[in-house]
C-alpha cells in the first residue's frame, strides 16, 4: 500500500494510505447512482449561478462551467461517459470530468460551500420528484383504462364474494370501479407525496449551513422546488421522502396484488369469467394445454420486493445519529428498484386490463338463487316485518328448498312460502331476479347501474 496522498480521489488531501480495493467497491455508489446524472448536473448548474451571484465565480467562469456541464450531460445521454478509478459516486465523477474539460482551476470552484451531503439530497429529491410525476401520468392512464372498460361493460352481472364464497350479485363494472377507487386513492396520495418531496436541501452545506450566505430560495426556484427545507441539519439528513415513496409503492403494489389475485381466480377454468390475452400469458414447457397468467402472478409477487425495500431501508436508517451518515447511501438501490418495479407493474396491469376478454355467460351463469336470500328477507321487510325476523324466515326457505332437493329457493311454490310465513304474498315470486336485486342497491356506492355510473364519474373528475 502506497504512502502517497490519494491523488485520484476528490477528498484525497488528508489521506496517505491507499484504500483496500474491496473498500472502494463497497463504498462506491456510481454503478447505481449514475441514473441521477441529469439531476446532478442541473443541481450544479443552478448552484454555480448562486455562487456567481455572490461573486465567488465570474460570469466568464460560469459560462465555461455551464458549457462543460452540457458536454458531460451529452456524454451520459449517449453512453459515452468514461468512468475512472476514484469515481466514487455520480457527484465526484461529474466534478472530476468537469475538471478535465474546463480545467481544474475553474472546476475546483463549483463545490465552494457545497457538500455532497446537500448535493446528494438535492439530486435525490429532483430525481424522485420527476419519477413520481411520470408514474402519476402512467397511473392516470391505467385508471382511465379501467374506467372505460367499466363504462362499456356496465350491463354484465357476476357474483360478488366475501370469504371467496358467493355472496350477492354485483355488476362486473362495480368490481372494476372498486379497484379504480383504490388506485385513485393511490393517485391522490401520490400528489401529496410529490408536494412533500419537492423541497430544497441545497445550500445547507455539509450540515451547519452555508458560509457565504447563498440565496437558498434562488437555488430552490431554479431547480423547480416549491420550498426550502428550513433547517440545514434536517436538510442533509432527512430521507423521509424516500421512506414515503417506498411506502407509497408498497401500498400500491398491495392493491395491484389483490387486483391480480382476483383476476387469477376469475381466469381459472373453474371460474372462466375472464381470458387473458396471449400477450400477457405464457405456456408451460411441459404441458401443451397450459396458458398461465404469469403477468398477474408477477404483479402479485413483485409486491414482495417493494415491501422488502421499505422494511430494509427503515432498518438501515433506524437509530443512525444526526446528520449525514454513510448508511444513508443505502436509500438508493431499494428506491430505484421500487420505482422501476412500480412503473413496469402499472404498464403491465394497463396492458392486461385493456386486452383481457370477459365471458358474460360464465359470469352470469355463476349467479345462484341462494344469493338472493337477502333479497327474500328484504321482501318481507318491505311488508313491515323486522329484519331480524325476516333473516330467520329467509333462512327457513333456504333450508326447505334444500330438504326438498330443489335447485334453489325460487323453486318453492307460493303455498310452500305461505306455510313458512303467512305474510308472504303472490308477488314473492318476483323477488328472484338478479337484475332486480342489483338495481335495488342504488344508494351511493352500490351496484345499481346508476350508482356505478356515478362512481365512475366521480373517479374521473378526481383525475382531472
Ligand atoms: N454517495 C453518497 C450517498 O449517496 C453521497 C454523499 C456522500 N457524503 C459523504 N459525506 N460521504 O449518500
Confidence at residue 5, expressed as pLDDT on a 0 to 100 scale: 53
Cα separation, 392 vs 239, whole angstroms: 57
User: Do residues 193 and 228 share a domain?
Assistant: yes
Asked whether residue 9 carries a pLDDT value surpassing 80, the answer given is no
Q: Which residue has the cell 491523488?
A: 7
User: What are the grid coordinates assigned to 15, written together?
Assistant: 489521506
Q: What CATH number is associated with residue 400?
A: 1.10.40.30
Centroid of ligand 1 to alpha carbon of 139 (angstroms): 32
* pLDDT (mean) for 206-228: 98
Q: Which residue has the cell 326457505?
A: 397
User: Do residues 217 and 332 share a domain?
Assistant: yes
Asked whether residue 290 carries a pLDDT value surpassing 80, the answer given is no
Confidence at residue 434, expressed as pLDDT on a 0 to 100 scale: 97
Cα separation, 424 vs 420, whole angstroms: 8
**Cβ(117) – ligand 1 distance below 6 Å:** yes
Asked whether residue 194 carries a pLDDT value surpassing 90, the answer given is yes
Render pLDDT for 245-287 as a digit per residue (tens, 0 to 9). Answer: 999 999 999 999 999 999 999 999 999 999 999 999 987 777 8
Which of the four pLDDT bands, split at 50, 70 and 90, describes residue 2?
very low
Centroid of ligand 1 to alpha carbon of 326 (angstroms): 6
User: Do residues 332 and 219 share a domain?
Assistant: yes
Centroid of ligand 1 to alpha carbon of 239 (angstroms): 13
**Cβ(316) – ligand 1 distance below 6 Å:** no
User: Do residues 345 and 433 share a domain?
Assistant: no
- Nearest ligand 1 atom to the CA of 124 is 4
Q: Assess contact for 334 and 246: CB atoms under 8 A.
A: yes
Which of the four pLDDT bands, split at 50, 70 and 90, describes residue 15?
confident
User: What are the grid coordinates assigned to 24, written together?
Assistant: 472502494
User: Do residues 205 and 240 share a domain?
Assistant: yes
Q: Which DSSP letter does residue 282 get?
A: B
User: Do residues 137 and 104 share a domain?
Assistant: no
User: Do residues 361 and 304 share a domain?
Assistant: yes
Alpha helix stretches (DSSP H) within 223-302: 232-237, 240-267, 294-301
Atom 4 in ligand 1: residue holding the nearest Cα: 329
Q: Assess contact for 198 and 129: CB atoms under 8 A.
A: yes
Best residue for ligand 1 mutational test, from 11, 88, 89 (most atoms within 8 Å of Cβ): 89
Q: Is residue 6 situated within a structural domain?
A: no
- Nearest ligand 1 atom to the CA of 11 is 11
User: Do residues 252 and 170 share a domain?
Assistant: yes
Render pLDDT for 422-449 as a digit per residue (tens, 0 to 9). Answer: 999 999 988 899 999 999 999 999 999 9
Confidence at residue 47, expressed as pLDDT on a 0 to 100 scale: 98
User: Do residues 219 and 301 share a domain?
Assistant: yes
Which of the four pLDDT bands, split at 50, 70 and 90, describes residue 174?
very high
User: Do residues 209 and 351 share a domain?
Assistant: yes
Atom 7 in ligand 1: residue holding the nearest Cα: 116
**3-state SS class at 159:** strand
* pLDDT (mean) for 367-389: 93
Average pLDDT, the chain: 95
Cα separation, 284 vs 289, whole angstroms: 8
Which of the four pLDDT bands, split at 50, 70 and 90, describes residue 3?
very low
Q: Could you give the C-alpha distances from 14 to 10, 18, 330, in angstroms and in order?
A: 11, 12, 26
Residues designated catalytic: 163, 284
Centroid of ligand 1 to alpha carbon of 151 (angstroms): 50
Domain encompassing residue 196: 116-365
As for how many domains the chain has, the answer is: 3
Centroid of ligand 1 to alpha carbon of 277 (angstroms): 46
* pLDDT (mean) for 399-412: 94
Overall pTM surpassing 0.85 (yes/no): yes
Confidence at residue 307, expressed as pLDDT on a 0 to 100 scale: 98
Render pLDDT for 33-59 as a digit per residue (tens, 0 to 9). Answer: 999 999 999 999 999 999 999 999 999
**3-state SS class at 228:** strand
From 340, 365, 390, the end of a domain falls on 365
**Cβ(329) – ligand 1 distance below 6 Å:** yes
Number of H helices, E strands in the chain: 20, 6
**Cβ(120) – ligand 1 distance below 6 Å:** yes
Amino acid at each position: 500500500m502506497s504512502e502517497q496522498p490519494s491523488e485520484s480521489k476528490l477528498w484525497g488531501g488528508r489521506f496517505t494510505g491507499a484504500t483496500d480495493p474491496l473498500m472502494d467497491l463497497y463504498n462506491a455508489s456510481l454503478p447505481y447512482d449514475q441514473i441521477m446524472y441529469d439531476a446532478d448536473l442541473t443541481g450544479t448548474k443552478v448552484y454555480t449561478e448562486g455562487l456567481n451571484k455572490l461573486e465567488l465565480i465570474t460570469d466568464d467562469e460560469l459560462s465555461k462551467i455551464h458549457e462543460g456541464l452540457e458536454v458531460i450531460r451529452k456524454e451520459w445521454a449517449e453512453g459515452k461517459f468514461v468512468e475512472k478509478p476514484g469515481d466514487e459516486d455520480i457527484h465526484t465523477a461529474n466534478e472530476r470530468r468537469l475538471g478535465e474539460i474546463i480545467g481544474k482551476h475553474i472546476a475546483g470552484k463549483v463545490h465552494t460551500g457545497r457538500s455532497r451531503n446537500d448535493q446528494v439530497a438535492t439530486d435525490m429529491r429532483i430525481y424522485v420528484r420527476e419519477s413520481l410525476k411520470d408514474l402519476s401520468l402512467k397511473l392516470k392512464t391505467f385508471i382511465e383504462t379501467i374506467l372505460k372498460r367499466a363504462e362499456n361493460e356496465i350491463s354484465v352481472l357476476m357474483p360478488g364474494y366475501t370469504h371467496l364464497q358467493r355472496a350477492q350479485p354485483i355488476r362486473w363494472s362495480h368490481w372494476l370501479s372498486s379497484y379504480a377507487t383504490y388506485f385513485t386513492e393511490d393517485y391522490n396520495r401520490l400528489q401529496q407525496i410529490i408536494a412533500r418531496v419537492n423541497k430544497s436541501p441545497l445550500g445547507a452545506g455539509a450540515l451547519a449551513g452555508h458560509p457565504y450566505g447563498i440565496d437558498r430560495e434562488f437555488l430552490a426556484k431554479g431547480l423547480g422546488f416549491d420550498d426550502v427545507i428550513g433547517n440545514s441539519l434536517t436538510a442533509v439528513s432527512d430521507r423521509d421522502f424516500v421512506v414515503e415513496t417506498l411506502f407509497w409503492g408498497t401500498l400500491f403494489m398491495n392493491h395491484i396484488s389483490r387486483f391480480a389475485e382476483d383476476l387469477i381466480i376469475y381466469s381459472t377454468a373453474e371460474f372462466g369469467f375472464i381470458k387473458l390475452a396471449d400477450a400477457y400469458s405464457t405456456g408451460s414447457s411441459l404441458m401443451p394445454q397450459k396458458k398461465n397468467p404469469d403477468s398477474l402472478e408477477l404483479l402479485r409477487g413483485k409486491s414482495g420486493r417493494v415491501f422488502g425495500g421499505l422494511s430494509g431501508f427503515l432498518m438501515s436508517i433506524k437509530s443512525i445519529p444526526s446528520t449525514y451518515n454513510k448508511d444513508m447511501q443505502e436509500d438508493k438501490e431499494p428506491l430505484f428498484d421500487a420505482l422501476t418495479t412500480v412503473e413496469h407493474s402499472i404498464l403491465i396491469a394497463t396492458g392486461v386490463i385493456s386486452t383481457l376478454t370477459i365471458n358474460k355467460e360464465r359470469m352470469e351463469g355463476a349467479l345462484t338463487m341462494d344469493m338472493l336470500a337477502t333479497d327474500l328477507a328484504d321482501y318481507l321487510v318491505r311488508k313491515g316485518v323486522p329484519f331480524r325476523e325476516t333473516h330467520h324466515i329467509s333462512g327457513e326457505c333456504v333450508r326447505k328448498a334444500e330438504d326438498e332437493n330443489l335447485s334453489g329457493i325460487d323453486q318453492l311454490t307460493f303455498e310452500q312460502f305461505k306455510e313458512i310465513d303467512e305474510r308472504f304474498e303472490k308477488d314473492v315470486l318476483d323477488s328472484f331476479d338478479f337484475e332486480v336485486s342489483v338495481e335495488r342497491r342504488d344508494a351511493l356506492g352500490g351496484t345499481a347501474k346508476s350508482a356505478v355510473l356515478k362512481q365512475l364519474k366521480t373517479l374521473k373528475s378526481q383525475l382531472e
